[in-house]
């Protein structure tokens, strides 16, 4: 009787609801790329559902020099984490709530990944996911504007082989020029003396070194070139491509009763900005691209996740998939500053440094010590994963990360040196590869409620040790020629807060009070074997479903050395081709 009523209700809803071939939940980088590529076929209808508005003419978005101005506005989700053990306070996690997603409010950095990191994705069970398979898609998405003579004089370099020139996404170097007391050559020479070379192009697969990276900007108009400008607005006239803005997706609607195998999505339930609840149907697939903090919540609200959590909120379990919402990884961002004797010039630069660079010693003993701690790291993280992750499985993944750090010598630190004012040097920094893992889960069955987010910053001693070592490295650079000739004194933290001979514990105490989220959340619907706690397979299909995928930063199994955005463009481009393959045979 219940089954008959369910089928009758679904039949009535299907008859009345609008219908598309593909429904894409989230109009950020990944969602817009996939929507664009799928709608290239005029016989395929695509609907993008985005919770936020258009920001096409929003100066807080378009202004290249307006980074952070959109923070705290309606186009920022302003997620608040649970209070963290490290520091004892909650952290704000910024995420774009607009057509364009994170690309509308981020720092515009176009920085990919280290090649062996992507190769490691394949090593943990993801067939054909590696640097070689993704490289053509970086080029497919990109349209690089070559640096001008002025930019070249100021330090802009690139490897032509590593860049595309015909893609939708405009990429260019920012306005910059060399001048008196130029910070760029001073930092370059200081780092070179410390053994860190100039890197011609951090986007060519090898990232270690000092460099200047391009941004996602239209160089001629000098505006931010977000995903909507690249992949939606030039194509909005397609009759088969629609976008619903200011619309919240509540949950996936299913064709099957709970508990079946390969359960099939019928569509999604949405709430408009006016509060109207309705259903839109999908003939082929529902694709979640709502980001690492929203996609897992939508899965849970739809009955896909850990039964322990779903049962707490009286949500019927359609697919038991405990990995949903686990494996959350983010980085801790901290700022050091120094005052200068005279006004300085220059722009934003990047330093990618390895363990050998940062710890300034024979790292074999550090590698061995860290290796002995992997079992305890795995046990602690597993114990905090709601039973979703097993210590032995985490141990295997941690071993891959350990090898990348200590055998492949990939970067473990990113430092952004730039003028912070007329007479100030800023050095923003973060450890790239923390071992800590956290989670994000729904608080209730109310889709309007923010999820409970616990990144577990500083959970493991490696994560704190790394952040301390980077801070000490920056202080050494402030005190090394020729940079030291420009600097009057370190002002943050300064010697009164952290004396010159301070123990690591003192540094750690300062960091505890002075870190923030790096807004690089990934991993919460990981592309890994289901037995390892994975949520999607290597075609980004959600385990246990017939027609649901996740395409966003949720699927990253491991943190990358670069910034998420450039990698998301390539991953989404490749996934669009996989989807086309699956539907054309």
Please name the residues in contact with 275: beta carbons below 8 A apart, sequence gap of 6 or more.
none
Please name the residues in contact with 223: beta carbons below 8 A apart, sequence gap of 6 or more.
62, 63, 64, 217
The answer to whether 36 and 232 are in contact (CB under 8 A) is yes
Angle value at C-alpha 92, between 88 and 96, nearest 5 degrees: 165
d(CA 470, CA 464): 10
Neighbours of 435 (CB within 10 A): 26
Q: How long, in residues, is the chain? A: 585
The answer to whether 430 and 511 are in contact (CB under 8 A) is no
The answer to whether 374 and 380 are in contact (CB under 8 A) is no
The answer to whether 561 and 352 are in contact (CB under 8 A) is yes
* Locus of tokens 């952070």: 68
> Could you give phi then psi for residue 324, rounded to 5 degrees?
-60, 125
Q: H-type helices in 292-340, by residue range?
A: 295-301, 307-312
CA atoms within 13 A on the CB side of 48: 37
d(CA 198, CA 189): 9
Token pair of 461 as six digits: 């001693």
Check the annotation: does 200 bind a ligand.
no
Would you call 520 a catalytic residue per the annotation?
Answer: yes
d(CA 311, CA 324): 14
> Could you give phi then psi for residue 580, rounded to 5 degrees?
-60, -40
Which helix (H) or strand (E) segment holds residue 405: the answer is helix 391-406
The answer to whether 477 and 470 are in contact (CB under 8 A) is no
Token pair of 158 as six digits: 């690139």
Nearest to 552 by CA among 30, 80, 172, 109: 30
Nearest to 35 by CA among 576, 580, 584: 576
Catalytic residue among 393, 402, 441, 563: 563
Please name the residues in contact with 141: beta carbons below 8 A apart, sequence gap of 6 or more.
33, 164, 167, 168, 169, 569, 570, 573
> Could you give phi then psi for residue 280, rounded to 5 degrees?
-120, 135
Q: Which strand ranges, in their side-by-side order, compose the sheet holding 452-454?
A: 326-328, 438-441, 452-454
Nearest to 567 by CA among 271, 151, 141: 141
Catalytic residue among 163, 393, 402, 520: 520
Neighbours of 292 (CB within 10 A): 29
The answer to whether 388 and 533 are in contact (CB under 8 A) is yes
Residues making up the annotated binding site are 249
Residues annotated as catalytic (active site), given as ranges: 520, 563
Residues making up the annotated binding site for FAD are 249
């Amino acid at each position: 009787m219940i089954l008959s009523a369910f089928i009758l209700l679904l039949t009535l809803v299907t008859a009345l609801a609008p219908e598309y071939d593909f429904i894409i939940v989230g109009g950020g980088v990944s969602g817009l790329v996939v929507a664009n590529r799928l709608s290239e076929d005029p016989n395929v209808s695509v609907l993008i559902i985005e919770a936020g508005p258009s920001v096409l003419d929003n100066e807080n978005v378009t202004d290249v020099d307006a980074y952070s101005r959109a923070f705290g506005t309606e186009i920022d989700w302003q997620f608040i984490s649970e209070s963290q053990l490290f520091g004892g306070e909650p952290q704000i996690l910024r995420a774009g709530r607009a057509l364009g997603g994170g690309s509308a409010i981020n720092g515009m950095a176009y920085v990919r990944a280290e090649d062996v990191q992507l190769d490691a994705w394949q090593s943990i069970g993801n067939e054909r996911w590696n640097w070689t398979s993704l490289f053509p898609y970086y080029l497919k998405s990109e349209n690089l504007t070559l640096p001008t003579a002025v930019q070249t004089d100021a330090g802009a370099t690139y490897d032509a082989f590593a860049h595309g020139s015909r893609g939708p996404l405009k990429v260019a170097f920012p306005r910059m020029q060399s001048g008196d007391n130029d910070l760029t050559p001073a930092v370059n020479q200081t780092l070179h003396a410390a053994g860190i070379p100039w890197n011609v192009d951090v986007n060519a697969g090898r990232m270690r070194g000092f460099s200047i990276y391009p941004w996602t900007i239209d160089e001629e108009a000098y505006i931010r070139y977000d995903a909507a400008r690249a992949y939606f607005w030039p194509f909005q006239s397609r009759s088969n491509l629609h976008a619903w803005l200011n619309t919240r997706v509540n949950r996936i609607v299913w064709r099957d009763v709970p508990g079946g195998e390969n359960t099939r999505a019928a569509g999604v339930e949405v709430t408009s900005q006016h509060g109207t609840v309705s259903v839109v149907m999908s003939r082929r697939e529902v694709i979640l691209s709502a980001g690492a903090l929203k996609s897992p919540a939508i899965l849970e609200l739809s009955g896909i996740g850990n039964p322990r959590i779903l049962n707490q909120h009286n949500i019927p379990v359609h697919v038991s998939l405990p990995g949903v919402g686990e494996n959350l990884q983010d980085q801790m961002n901290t700022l050091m500053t120094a005052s200068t004797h005279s006004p300085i010039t220059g722009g934003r630069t990047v330093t990618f440094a390895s363990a050998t660079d940062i710890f300034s010693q024979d790292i074999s003993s550090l590698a061995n010590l860290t290796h002995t701690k992997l079992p305890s790291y795995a046990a602690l993280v597993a114990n905090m994963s709601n039973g979703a992750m097993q210590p032995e499985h985490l141990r295997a993944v941690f071993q891959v990360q350990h090898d990348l750090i200590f055998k492949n010598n990939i970067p473990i630190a990113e430092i952004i040196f730039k003028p912070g004012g007329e007479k100030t040097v800023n050095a923003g920094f973060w450890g790239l590869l923390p071992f800590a893992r956290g989670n994000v889960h729904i608080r209730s069955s109310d889709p309007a409620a923010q999820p409970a987010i616990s990144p577990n910053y500083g959970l493991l001693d490696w994560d704190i040790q790394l952040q301390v070592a980077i801070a000490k490295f920056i202080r050494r650079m402030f005190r090394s020629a020729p940079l030291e000739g420009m600097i009057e004194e370190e002002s943050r933290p300064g010697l009164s807060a952290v004396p010159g001979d301070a123990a690591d514990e003192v540094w750690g105490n300062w960091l505890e009070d002075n870190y923030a989220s790096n807004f690089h959340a990934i991993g919460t619907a990981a592309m890994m074997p289901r037995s390892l706690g994975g949520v999607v397979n290597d075609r980004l299909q959600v385990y246990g479903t017939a027609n649901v995928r996740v395409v966003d930063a949720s699927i990253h199994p491991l943190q990358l050395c670069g910034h998420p955005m450039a990698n998301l463009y390539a991953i989404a481009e490749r996934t669009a081709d996989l989807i086309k393959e699956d539907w054309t045979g």
